[in-house]
Amino acid sequence: MRPELPLHVTDIAPSDGRGSGPHVETFVLLHGYAANSFTWRHWVTALSARGRVMMVDMKGFGKAPKPDDGKYDPLHFASLIADLLERSEVDNVTLIGHSLGGGIALLATLTLEDRGERRVRRLIVISGAAYRQRLPPFVALAHRPRLSAALLRLVGPRFIIRRALLAIVHDRDTVTDAQVAAYAEPLEKADGVRALLDVGRRIVPEEIDELSARYREIDVPVLLLWGRHDRVIPVAIGQRLEAELPRARLEILDDCGHLPPEELPEASLAIVESFLEDHPTV
């Protein structure tokens, strides 16, 4: 018997009653670092009108298990997502990832290709972590785990999360109490803090240059969605991806930072829906 995957999946059937068979369009959503499925709250209704939606809390985040096994690197996460798609027996997948989740979406697509699987039909990478780059301060602190854990205990996770969100959005008024609470809650427990720091220390794979050189092998339609004022993963990363991925297009949102689905939910969703219409899978 196969062990359960250390993921938490919110599985939403299509709202039109079509069911969740393997050929139904399936949208698999991967959040970013220190986040969880709350990221997608503004998009879920529209996506479920198109097909099945699987919102994933990745290992160590949100409601997912947080084992102390030292396996928190992006390649491991990509393998878990590939396992999830295989076990779910879905073969018409649009894989959507934000930030860290965007990088994992790229790696999961390559992982499935290496397994001889063609389950991913479209990719949407939002402010995706894709190449070697300077780590933002709230991630770099993970390399000083004792200091980071002490800070969280001293000032509390809600203060830390609020400061991090305010630092990465363009319009600070878009940060809400509900958003802060949703991302801070997992950090109220020691295993959530330990898992967060485990991911932060391993967030750049040792093989990042070799892996990124393979992106040009991804031969599916790809939407790259960026905020013009992204200070975490700059637009230049999206431009490089657009140049290297064979079927990619980059869309840039003005007056937006690192969180397009939360800062500009309607405008970002409109771009996503246009992309889906332009690239049907059935």
Nearest to 139, CA basis, from 169, 158, 160: 160
Residues near 212 by beta carbon (within 8 Å), at least 6 away in sequence: 130, 131, 132
For residue 145, being part of any structural domain is answered with no
- End-to-end Cα, the chain, rounded Å: 34
pLDDT for residue 175: 98
For residue 127, being part of any structural domain is answered with yes
Burial category of 99 from C-beta neighbours within 10 Å (exposed 0-12, middle 13-18, buried 19 and up): buried
> What's the CATH code of the domain at 97?
3.40.50.1820
pLDDT digits (tens, 9 = 90+) for 127-176: 999 999 888 877 767 777 777 777 777 778 999 999 999 999 999 999 99
Number of domains the chain contains: 1
For residue 188, being part of any structural domain is answered with no
For residue 170, being part of any structural domain is answered with no
pLDDT digits (tens, 9 = 90+) for 225-263: 999 999 999 999 999 999 999 999 999 999 999 999 999
